[in-house]
Amino acid sequence: MILTELEIQQAIEQAKVAFPHFTDWEYNNEANPKYLGFSLWGEFVFNPSELMPKRFYITLDTEREEWYSCLTIGQPSYLWSSTDVGDAHLLSAGPCDSLEDAIAY
């Protein structure tokens, strides 16, 4: 699913409200080798003053007309995510009918 510019801004605002401690929100809004369509992710850095702080990511994305959410460590979730490339899935939810449902998980 590809979103309009207005839908993108609404999704970003919903995510920021739902996850106020996550920052550096980025998104992809095209199908390509890493994503099936729209994907939005934000970062939370635990103990940023440490030499190698832990980085957690919330990723909200679409596949066809459904929404998914994922909590990862290391890097945002994408099609080829793997512990081999430095990330790990901690929680995943979906398929959901709406962004609101994906956030609620």
pLDDT tens sequence across 25-82 = 999 999 988 889 999 999 999 998 999 899 999 999 999 899 999 999 988 888 766 6
* Predicted pLDDT of residue 17: 98
22/24 Cα distance (integer angstroms): 7
Instruction: Give the residue with greater pLDDT, 87 vs 41.
Output: 41
Q: Name 6's Cβ contacts closer than 8 Å, sequence gap at least 6.
A: none
pLDDT, position 26: 97
DSSP string spanning 18-70? H-TT-EEEEEEES--SS-SSEEEEEEEEESTTSSS-EEEEEEEEEETTEEEEE
